[in-house]
Amino acid sequence: MMNNYNANVMNLDSKVKITAPCSHSLFLDATHLKGCSLSVQKKIWALVERCQASTAFIDVVPAMNSLTVYLVHSDHIRYWQTTLLQWWNTTDIQEHKGTHHKIVTRYGGECGPDLEFIANYHGISASSVIELHMNVTYLVLFLGFQPGFTYLHGLPAELHTPRRSEPRVKVPKGSVAIGADQTSIYPADSPGGWHIIGHTNFSLFDWQNNPPCAIAPGDTLQFISEEALL
């Protein structure tokens, strides 16, 4: 008997939509597939690696259950519209192997001004918030909002918290924060409406590096308390 996971994977084949938003780009849309969002995302990451290994694309941009590729030559667009669909149907989600990152974090105090709010909101101690936040291996779904900002899958349900009613005008670079059912790190100073629970010195984005983003979609990530290392 086929289990549900394998059935979901097989049902991904031939159900994506590939359109041409302009003369040099193709958009692969799998957002309409239901019940297998994480499997879809894993397959997109594996497809990204195949695309990046080709010299046909200027850029390859994965998003949540979708992928945009920018072609070097516009006259190849019909060929790649067909080929991308073929690649989608022959790509195994197990082909992608991401990098694991350990993010040393200082929780609470001036570094995490909203830690006590999160604790009070859920009726638990601040130390419980920290423990719950650390004892998870997060999966990087995609990058967005600003360069290097990681949307992480895996925040425990006990920490799901609505965003702030009044966003901050400035959230410091390196802030570790919770917003709704996700957690992330702010790669640069910016406005933001997530609750800040800690801070890390880990640099997520540097335009002089190649690649400029230290963390990529499909990577895994774990937060480690700075105090635990002392």
> Are the beta carbons of 222 and 145 closer than 8 angstroms?
no
pLDDT computed for residue 59 by the predictor: 93
Poorest-confidence range of 95-99, 148-152, 198-202? 95-99
- Calculate what percentage of the chain has a pLDDT beyond 70: 91
Joined tokens for residue 132? 């719950």
Return the bridge partners of 130, or none. none
At 229, the pLDDT band (50, 70, 90 cuts) reads: low
Confidence check: pLDDT of 166 > 70:
yes
User: Can you tell me the distance from the alpha carbon of 119 to that of 139, in angstroms, rounded to the nearest whole number?
Assistant: 24
At 173, the pLDDT band (50, 70, 90 cuts) reads: very high
Average pLDDT, the chain: 89
The pLDDT of 73-82, averaged and rounded, is 93
- pTM for this one? 0.79
Closest to 20 measured CA to CA, from 65, 79, 81, 85: 81
User: Can you tell me the distance from the alpha carbon of 193 to that of 60, in angstroms, rounded to the nearest whole number?
Assistant: 29
User: Can you tell me the distance from the alpha carbon of 13 to that of 36, in angstroms, rounded to the nearest whole number?
Assistant: 12
User: Can you tell me the distance from the alpha carbon of 230 to that of 228, in angstroms, rounded to the nearest whole number?
Assistant: 6
Instruction: Give the angle subtended at the CA of 71 by the CAs of 67 and 72, to the nearest 5°.
Output: 155
Q: What is the pLDDT of residues 116-130, one digit of tens each?
A: 999 999 999 999 999
- Calculate what percentage of the chain has a pLDDT beyond 90: 71
Distances (CA, A) of 140 to 3, 51, 143, 179, 187: 26, 19, 8, 15, 14
Mark 19-44 as b/e (b = at least 16 C-beta within 10 Å). Answer: eeeeebbbbbebeebeebbebbbbbb
Confidence check: pLDDT of 211 > 60:
yes
